[in-house]
Structures are given as C-alpha cells and as structure tokens.
Amino acid sequence: MPMRVIAVAGARPNFMKVAPLLWEIQGRDDIDAFLVHTGQHYDERMSQLFFDELRIPKPDANLEVGSGSHAVQTAEVMRRFEPIVESQRPDAVVVVGDVNSTLACALVAAKLGVPVAHVEAGLRSGDESMPEEINRRLTDALSRWLFVSEPSGLVNLRKENVPEERLFYVGNVMIDTLHACRERCQSSPILETLSVETKKYAVLTLHRPANVDEPEVFERMLAAIARLQREIPIVFPVHPRTRRALVEALPRGLPRLILTEPLGYLDFLKLVSHARLVLTDSGGVQEETTVLGVPCLTLRDNTERPVTVTHGTNCLVGRDPDRILSAALSALGSPSIGARQPDKWDGEAAQRIIDVLTAGRIAKPSNRKTMGAKERLSA
Ligand code: UD1
Ligand code: UDP
C-alpha cells in the first residue's frame, strides 16, 4: 500500500513550497497525496495563478476560509480541516512554511493522532511580535518530522531539545521551484510590459504587518522609496494587505515608482533575476535573491533566514528611512556581490523529503522518479 498523506497549502508562499513535493509524489508509486487548499489566500493573483503556472494539481478540497483575525482564520481552518482528516485517515499531514494555515492544520492532525511533517522547520527570527514566529514554534513542537532548509534551523531545534531522530536537513523546497522555473521564466515579457531594462531597475515588496499596518512606519518607509526612485525606477507589485494602506500613505508625483498588481511567479522570478537591487520584507524573496545573486536589502530588524546574510546577498537594513536610502545608494554604487549557495539548495529537497517519509516502505528503485522537476514542468 502506498503511503497516504494530506498536503496543505493556503497562502501565496505555500504554493511554491508544495509544488515540488507534489511533482515528486506524482512520479512515484510508494506515496499518494490528497491536496487541501485552505483558501487563506483566494484572489486569482494570490492563488489560482500559481496553480496554473506551477502545474499544481487541482486541490482535492478547498476550505474557503478567506480572511479574518488570527483567531477566526486559524479556528475556521481547524474546524473545516478536522472532518477531512477524519474521513481521509492519512498516514501523515504535510504542512509547509509558517502561515496561519500551517499551524491550524498541524494542530488538528496532532490532536487526531496523525503524525505531522513540517517542511521549513526550525527557522526563528527571535521576534515574538511576528505572527509567523508563533506559528513556527508551535508547528515545530507538534511535528514528528522536522524538515530543515538552512543550517540555523538545526541549531535552533537542537537548542529547543528536539529529539535528534526528528531532524532532517533536506535543503529548500522553494528553491527547488526556482531551479525548475529559472529557464522557463525567461520567456515572460514582464520587462517590456513595464518598460524597464535589465539591471536598470529595483524591485520592492512589502507586506509585513509591522511595516505596512502602522501608517507612521509605512509613510517613513515610502519617504525613502520616494527618494530612491529619483535614482532608479522601482517596480512595486503590491500585496493585498498593503493595497489599502498605500492609497492613504503614497506621496504624489513619483513617476519612477511603478505599481503593479501582485505578479505571477514566472513574471516575478524574471523581474527579480534581472533586477539591479531588491528591497523586501518577504521571507521567500530573501532566499530567492541569494540563489539568483541579486543584492537584497531586507527592510526588517531581524531575519529567520540568516544564511541569506552569511552566504547570500541579503543585508538587514531595518526601517529607518535614512538607513534604507544610504544602503540602497551604496548597493547601487558597488559591483554585485558574489553569493555562495547554501548547502543542499540544489533543486532536490522535495525528493529528500519524500524519501524520508517513505523510508521503511518497500523500496522500489525501478519506480523512483524518472523525470526531474524541470522536465515535468515542460512535459
Ligand atoms: C499571510 C501570512 C504571512 C505571509 C503572507 C504571504 C499569516 C499570519 N500571515 O499574510 O506569513 O508572509 O501571507 O503573502 O498567516 N487579502 C486579499 N486577498 C487575498 C488574501 C488576502 O485581499 O487573496 C487581504 C485581506 O484584506 C486580508 C489581508 O489581505 O485581511 C491579509 O491576509 P492574511 O492572509 O490574513 O495575511 P497576509 O498579510 O496575506
Ligand atoms: N512572489 C510572486 N509575486 C509577487 C511577489 C512575490 O510570485 O508579486 C513570490 C516570490 O517569488 C516568492 C513568494 O511569492 O516565491 C514569496 O511570498 P510572500 O512574499 O508573499 O511571502 P513570505 O515569503 O514573506 O511568507
């Protein structure tokens, strides 16, 4: 009998993480997946677009929870996920990342006695004011398999006395997706659409509540952006959380700040890979710029992904407008920094994860995957 898992995805960054796991599972006969979309993100450009571009199978169930306060959203996911686990009776529930859907589904599974696999375990910013930090700690505490993406994750989990047999350093599934799409994204017309030229523009993303929900903080950041756009055009795909605040806070007369809807993965990857500089508060974008070798300024005081600073192109610059501007000008005036690839960010993380999950099942080498992720996407 193949192993049966429920895989969970709910918000934008989950889709890039779950895709390579599902590609791997599709190519094997020792494991089957039932895909649950919680519906935490639901706009076409925050959800369906990624299913189409990344050829993620249609979810077997969509919980359609939508938006709400943390308690409401988490509780709704739990309420709607529980009957699915009860009826499917899976061998494991696989959750990715650190969003509310991640914690909600891990909690339901653990209470029903179903072992939880957490992909991207062990990341810690040390900042308890971030909702994600709470989600990470609690999900890790509930998990039987902790799949770690960067060395700091192992250090953190050992400090928390997690038993060694639960820890698996497997690399980064989000980077599996990047490798699978790096060539394919080059045919995106996004640079022409936005009238920007390679290495002559910057990209900005902002969606952390600590940055965009406080009008005063957000306005100060936008003041730095207003000054920077005089030096270089800045493309700013606006996250839905940020949209409303932006209408209030955006200064007038910024001809070189190019606002767009949230972009699809292929457009965004192409845009970032040709950018001169990226400014962001995203978790995933810090990792992607490291692999692409594009300088990245993170507009936060901390990161749960320190390998992007020690090995990659990432620099933490905080929220102070003068500091943001001087770091950006200095990055624009310096030659591009070389980045070292973190260990096992090689496109094979999903395969390692599924190998661990299915270990102990009868090994069938002849039935192992015959197609790589890239071939699967272009098949
Ligand atoms: C969530 C995650 C965050 C992650 C981010 C990725 C939590 C606590 N936060 O933050 O860790 O980095 O996703 O993008 O899980 N909205 C729409 N359309 C949508 C989705 C959201 O308009 O499709 C709007 C709603 O007004 C909603 C707001 O965005 O209230 C915030 O959405 P929510 O999922 O609660 O949090 P994010 O800020 O997206
Ligand atoms: N991304 C995208 N379109 C955009 C902005 C981001 O496809 O307009 C991708 C990005 O390449 C990365 C993921 O979304 O793969 C990161 O998601 P997000 O920043 O929403 O969440 P976080 O990583 O901060 O949790």
Atom in ligand 2 nearest the alpha carbon of residue 11? 20
> What is the predicted pLDDT for the residue at 339?
79
How far is C-alpha 149 from the geometric centre of its chain's CA atoms?
12
237 CB near ligand 2 (under 6 Å): yes
27 CB near ligand 2 (under 6 Å): no
DSSP conformation letters of 203-270: EEE---HHHHTSHHHHHHHHHHHHHHTTTS-EEEEPPHHHHHHHHHHPPS--TTEEEEPPPPHHHHHH
Amino acid at 209: P
Catalytic residue among 37, 41, 207, 239: 207
Q: Rounded to whole angstroms, how far apart are CA atoms 331 and 329? A: 5
- Please name the residues in contact with 254: beta carbons below 8 A apart, sequence gap of 6 or more: 225, 226, 229
64 CB near ligand 1 (under 6 Å): no
- Site to substitute for ligand 2 among 45, 234, 261, 268, most atoms within 8 A of C-beta: 268
Distance 50 CA to ligand 1 centre (A): 16
- Please name the residues in contact with 44: beta carbons below 8 A apart, sequence gap of 6 or more: none
Q: Rounded to whole angstroms, how far apart are CA atoms 291 and 179? A: 9
Atom in ligand 2 nearest the alpha carbon of residue 13? 17
Strand 257-260's sheet: what is its strand order? 257-260, 234-237, 202-205, 277-280, 296-298, 314-316
> What is the predicted pLDDT for the residue at 366?
43
Distance 262 CA to ligand 2 centre (A): 9
Mean pLDDT of the chain: 95
β-strand 167-169 against 202-205: which pairing, if any?
unpaired
Is 239 catalytic? The answer is no
Distance 162 CA to ligand 2 centre (A): 30
- Site to substitute for ligand 2 among 203, 271, 282, most atoms within 8 A of C-beta: 282
62 backbone dihedrals φ, ψ, rounded to 5°: -120, 120
Helix (H) or strand (E) holding 32: strand 31-37
Atom in ligand 2 nearest the alpha carbon of residue 272? 11
Show the tokens assigned to 90.
Answer: 């899976």
Let me know the angle formed at the C-alpha of 350 by 347 and 351, rounded to the nearest 5 degrees: 90
16 CB near ligand 2 (under 6 Å): yes
- Please name the residues in contact with 317: beta carbons below 8 A apart, sequence gap of 6 or more: 297, 298, 299, 323, 324, 327
The residue behind tokens 């009826």 is 87
> What is the predicted pLDDT for the residue at 377?
74
Q: Rounded to whole angstroms, how far apart are CA atoms 183 and 56? A: 19
Q: Which residue segments constitute the domains of the chain, with CATH numbers given?
A: 3-172+344-378 (3.40.50.2000), 184-333 (3.40.50.2000)
236 CB near ligand 2 (under 6 Å): no
Distance 41 CA to ligand 1 centre (A): 6
Distance 296 CA to ligand 2 centre (A): 14
pLDDT digits (tens, 9 = 90+) for 259-273: 999 999 999 999 999
Distance 337 CA to ligand 1 centre (A): 32
Show the tokens assigned to 275.
Answer: 């950018």
10 CB near ligand 2 (under 6 Å): no
> What is the predicted pLDDT for the residue at 365?
47
283 CB near ligand 2 (under 6 Å): yes
Letter string b/e over residues 81-120, b meaning 16 or more CB atoms within 10 A of that residue's CB: bbebbeebebbbbbbbbbbbbbbbbbbbbbeeebbbbbbb
Distance 77 CA to ligand 1 centre (A): 14
Residue nearest to atom 12 of ligand 2 (CA): 284
> What is the predicted pLDDT for the residue at 362?
56
282 CB near ligand 2 (under 6 Å): yes
Residue nearest to atom 7 of ligand 2 (CA): 265
Residue nearest to atom 9 of ligand 2 (CA): 265
Mean pLDDT by 10 residues, the chain (379 residues): 97 98 97 98 98 98 98 98 98 98 99 98 97 98 98 98 98 98 98 98 97 94 96 98 91 94 98 98 98 97 98 96 97 85 97 94 52 68
